[in-house]
Amino acid sequence: MKPITRYIIPVLMGFFALQSPDARAASTIYQPNYSGKSLTTPVAWGASDNVIFFGAGGTSPQQYSSHSDGAAVLGYGIGNPQKNIGVQLSIISSNVNFKNGWSQYSGALQLARDLGNANAIAAGVQNVPLINGRLDDVGRSYYVVYSQGVQSDPFINKTKGNSKLTYSIGVGSGIFGNKSPDDTRSGKGTHGTYAFGNIAYEVVPTINVISDWNGLNLNAGLSKTFWVLPRLPLAVVLGVADLTKYSGDGTRFIVSAGTAFKL
């Protein structure tokens, strides 16, 4: 059982709700900031408009193991969620091993629609097996998620022009509720809630405090975005996963980083 996909892939894919700085500055709506807004759950703001993104991350230790694990994602966003639909396509390696190579490739697709006033809704599928045709830890997982950037005081940063408080709620199948065989053997049942959510608050500019429930457990952490170049962000997330005894065999550290740029 290698549950890296449960912990790393959703947040890597959730970094990339990126608009150009000029577009954000000109908007009268307080959009979310550029830092991560979840740890292990999807958000409805996805890549679009010819944005390419890349990310990698890891968890230590894995569930029911003393070993660490890693994953990486490469994706591309097309379309316009403000006018019609944004489409985010991703290829994921959920078994990153620099000694023996990368393996267990899967695909993901998210369709997103901007509802106005910093609200969005999305539907997607993750963990679609590619190349080798199987994944060790998870099956195909569908989800629907709604996200909002709160627009009222005191939850807006008027100086930077962004919303300081964001949240998402959603439901899904697969990784959002199916417990592992190890959980079942440990007497923790076979099913979680199949409902998930996340909340993020900007404590200082570019740094978010985040908590989420992924259908199986509670997680908490921090995200900060660094600007490598004026239009090239590097978003980093550090967190602690499995804070309750609902699943897993104890807490574990998660870390991920990603960047994106517009063609």
CATH code of 125's domain: 2.40.160.40
E strands present in the chain: 31-32, 51-60, 69-79, 86-97, 101-116, 119-129, 141-149, 156-157, 162-163, 165-172, 195-204, 207-213, 218-229, 232-241, 252-262
Instruction: Please state, as a whole number, how many other Cβ atoms lie within 10 Å of the Cβ of residue 62.
Output: 20
pLDDT recorded at residue 154: 92
The count of domains in the chain is: 1
Look up the domain containing 128 and give its range: 4-262
DSSP 205: T
pLDDT recorded at residue 92: 86
Give this prediction's pTM: 0.90
Whole-number mean pLDDT of the chain?
85
103-143: pLDDT as tens digits: 678 899 999 999 999 999 999 998 888 866 555 556 789 99
pLDDT at 26 over 50: no
pLDDT recorded at residue 6: 58
163-193: pLDDT as tens digits: 999 999 999 999 999 998 999 999 999 999 9
pLDDT at 23 over 50: no
- In this structure, the chain runs to a length of 263
| CA torsion angle 105 108 257 182 (round to 10) | -70
Query: Rg of the Cα trace of the chain?
Result: 17
CA 13/CA 258 separation, integer angstroms? 9
CA 170/CA 214 separation, integer angstroms? 10
